[in-house]
Homo-oligomer: A and B are copies of this chain.
Amino acid sequence: MPARAATLTDVAKEAGVSLATASRALNGSDRVVRAELHARVLEAANRLGYTPNAQAQSMARGSSDLVGLLVNDIADPYFSTIAAGLASAAEEQGLLVMLCSTGGDPGQELELLAALRRQRGRAIVLAGSRIDDRAHLRKLSEQVDPFIEAGGRVAAISEPKLPVDTVVVDNKRAARDLAVRIGELGYRRPAVLTGPDELLVSRNRRDGFAEGWTGDAPIVVADEFNRDGGFNAMQRLVDSGPEVDCVFAVNDLMAMGAMAACRDRGIEVPRDLAVAGFDDISTLRDVTPALTTVRLPLTEMGRMALEMVLNDPVAKPRRRKVQGEVIVRESTPAR
């Protein structure tokens, strides 16, 4: 028993036909093979348990059926939901997804992007949050540009900082809408728990909220862009003791952290303090009090990105704006 898989050559030999015929019979081609031979080849392939070698096919055909997906953290429900959408769309197209998780580290992001490039996939989707760092953006471009130059396709799901097709969430506007609704509900003194300043998502959500807010400028507390960041930011906010009747955390995970911090401090949500989040993570839809948030079509965004990246390339990068929908729930009752 050979420790190697059957090759097309083996199949051809077994069927008593030429390599070319075997190829034509098995792996779709416009050329027709006589029915009898066709059957013989199929049978031989079956007998040998032949599976085409996709790598060799890509080489020979000059086109691969792999697409790369680069996310900040696949364990984060935001990204895993996007990934699910993209993966299901990819599957429909007969494509395979190569997944990379950067951990939010720009250096890592570059390295993984390079790895993805090496694989010569058909396309790469960048779903990491963009960081406002010119040097890093330039380095990204240095990877992305030649890949595109060589016929690869790239799309992003993020703030539109790279000159590629981008699914861009209108964070600012959604946050503005949220601020307006919060105001309408009768709140007067909001605080914003935000992520690091370099993170564009975080910044835009914060700024959007501030824009939409008509009263005094909200207090802003920054920390990490995750659950613990929300927890810590909330603690600091409480400790610094300003009067606040409502807290907007720039994502649902931070909001959960914030609510946990409230619990620790004996603050009851929403009686003593209202809380709102952003993203509408599905896993969190059943928490109590139900979280006011901004719903994003995450699955759809994954699909859209794949669709864009497979479309015929156009000279000018497309932008596809996605609007978030404010969902008011119990965590911000009318005052």
Contact = CB atoms under 8 A, between A and B. Distances in A.
A150 interface: yes
Nearest to A119: B54
Interface string A147-183: 0011100000000000000000000000000000000
A283 interface: yes
Nearest to A103: B88
Given A118-B54, A253-B283, A97 B96 contact: no
A118 B253 CA distance: 39
Interface in A242-293: 253, 256-257, 259-260, 263, 281-284, 286-288
Interface residues of A, number: 63
A283 B283 contact: yes
A49 B142 CA distance: 9
A117 interface: yes
A112 B97 CA distance: 11
A224 to B, nearest CB: 15
**In the assembly, how many copies of this chain are there?**
2
A194 interface: no
Contacts of A52: 118
B51 A114 contact: yes
A56 interface: yes
A3 interface: yes
A42 interface: no
A18 interface: no
Contact of A5 (B66, B77, B150, B286): B150
B51 A118 contact: yes
A37 B192 CA distance: 58
A99 B97 contact: yes
Q: Most chain-B Cβ atoms within 10 A of its Cβ — which of A75, A103, A281?
A: A75
A98 B96 contact: yes
Interface in A121-138: none
A84 B73 contact: yes
A83 B88 contact: no
A55 B119 contact: yes
A299 B55 contact: no
A329 to B, nearest CB: 12
A258 to B, nearest CB: 9
Interface of A: 1, 3-5, 49, 51-56, 58-59, 64, 66, 69, 73-75, 77, 80-81, 83-84, 87-88, 91, 94, 96-101, 103, 108, 112, 114-120, 146, 149-151, 227, 253, 256-257, 259-260, 263, 281-284, 286-288, 299
Given A257-B286, A283-B284, 4 more contacts: A73-B84, A87-B100, A88-B101, A227-B282
30 contacts: A3-B151, A4-B151, A54-B120, A55-B58, A55-B120, A59-B59, A66-B98, A74-B80, A74-B87, A75-B81, A75-B299, A77-B77, A77-B80, A87-B99, A88-B103, A91-B100, A91-B112, A94-B115, A96-B116, A97-B99, A98-B99, A99-B99, A227-B282, A227-B283, A227-B286, A256-B283, A257-B286, A263-B288, A283-B283, A288-B288
